[in-house]
Chains A and B, each alone.
Chain A
Amino acid sequence: MPRHLPTLQERRSPLASASTQLDRLHALALPRELDACLAEAGHHPLRAEGVKVLQLNLGKRCNQTCRHCHVDAGPDRTEVMAHEVVVRCLELLDRSAIATVDITGGAPELHPEFRWIVEQVHRRGRHVMDRCNLTILETRPYRDLPQFFADHDVEVVCSLPHYRGPSTDAQRGDGVFASSLRALRRLNEVGYGQGDPKRRLVLVSNPVGAFLPASQRSIEAEWKRELRRLHGIEFDALFCITNMPISRYLEWLESKGNLASYMDRLVTAFNPAAVEGVMCRTTLSVGWDGTLYDCDFNQMLELPITTHRRTIHDVDLDALAGRAIAVDRHCFGCTAGAGSSCGGATA
């Protein structure tokens, strides 16, 4: 089984605090500030364009403790979305045209009501995305999830840093690569990754280190060829996502003396064309406790939406439509290079 690194919270690290993380970023001398960059891109202040995706973070519990995790998720975390919050989210779907529900965590499958939530969203005719770490599908209570996903047309978005093993295990834990391949084969067996839009299998690659991600457009074909050749695995699309300089990745950057140079890299790689498609402009992210955020990263930094009503209990959809997005220095992670979002590159 994969080894477990202790979470920041378990170690009582100062970086377990969101405000400490922001302080560390603010202490850096950057070549440019985000406001000036957004102004150059014609997006200052950055504003939302309605809500097309409802992202539910079901909690911080996970069976893995990846080195780069922006959630500081792990087996010791106990935060979990309450039933009442889930019900409010479903009610929001009932009175809106939000097309997609993006379920994340932690390992969202560990939520005690995970299957019920998927069933309820599917019954409402909305598209469900599950952000899956793959290894959870190899644990006994969850081995039947591939068929459950197929039965409910769930798009499975899986983490896999590389089509070869050493990088994956370095980032996600010993044995994760082998376990991930087994899970991918079982997803293939129930029809995932063969081009069927109802059995869509997406792989997500994060850099294993202090550098920008590859161009997904450039390497997707090679990933498909190599995963088929080396492991007999098929998938539909590759997303390449930048690591955000927060939480455990921030700690790793600091420990290796890479934080200043990484931030400098993100800032100098600012791409005005990447701003248009950043996910926060079309996403409403709901935290485990019902607080509303513009994205999962803001959620972990405890930067809620800027409108007056900030919880799922009193959400005002009309006010959300053109809201100003809460931004800070970590946002350079989504605007660097080809851009980065939950859907991969943005430019």
Chain B
Amino acid sequence: MDKHDHYYHRDDLGRFGEIGNNVGPLAEKFFAWYGAVFTDGALSAREKSLIALAVAHAVQCPYCIDSYTRDALEKGSDLDQMTEAVHVAAAIRGGASLVHGVQMRNTTDKIGM
């Protein structure tokens, strides 16, 4: 099967920099800001990496999941901690769906008998 029959290609992660084509100054700002975000601050670089890993699962980005699995390990997290982070993401996603059930109930109250 031709690789372009798939939407996601592992090699494309290495081409991330191409998002700067045509808009170099914007990409420079993005990558500089991106790099600064993940440095040690009030949160440690390890904690930020776990947040990134959780968000990667919430937004279901395969590139980000690969990147931040490796990054979390390289920042000193272990598999238990990373798995708990993914469960946090899943809990927020699940909770976000369920809390909309209140909206569903409000609507039902309004139009139902």
Contacts and interface: CB of A to CB of B under 8 A. Distances in A.
B87 to A, nearest CB: 17
Interface residues of B, number: 13
Interface string A213-248: 111001100100000000000000000100000000
A218 B44 contact: yes
Contacts of A166: 78-80
Interface residues of A, number: 17
B74 A211 contact: yes
A167 B44 CA distance: 21
B79 A219 contact: no
A207 interface: yes
B79 A212 contact: no
Nearest to A240: B76
A309 B75 CA distance: 43
Interface string B68-95: 0010011110111100000000000000
Contacts of A209: 73
B107 to A, nearest CB: 47
B76 A211 contact: no
Contacts of A167: 78-79
Nearest to A223: B76
B75 A207 contact: no
19 contacts: A167-B78, A207-B73, A207-B74, A209-B73, A211-B70, A211-B74, A212-B74, A214-B74, A214-B75, A214-B76, A215-B45, A215-B75, A218-B40, A218-B45, A218-B76, A219-B44, A219-B46, A222-B44, A240-B76
Lowest 8 CB-CB distances: which A-B pairs, in order? A214-B76, A219-B76, A167-B78, A211-B73, A211-B74, A212-B74, A218-B45, A214-B75
Interface of B: 40, 44-46, 70, 73-76, 78-81
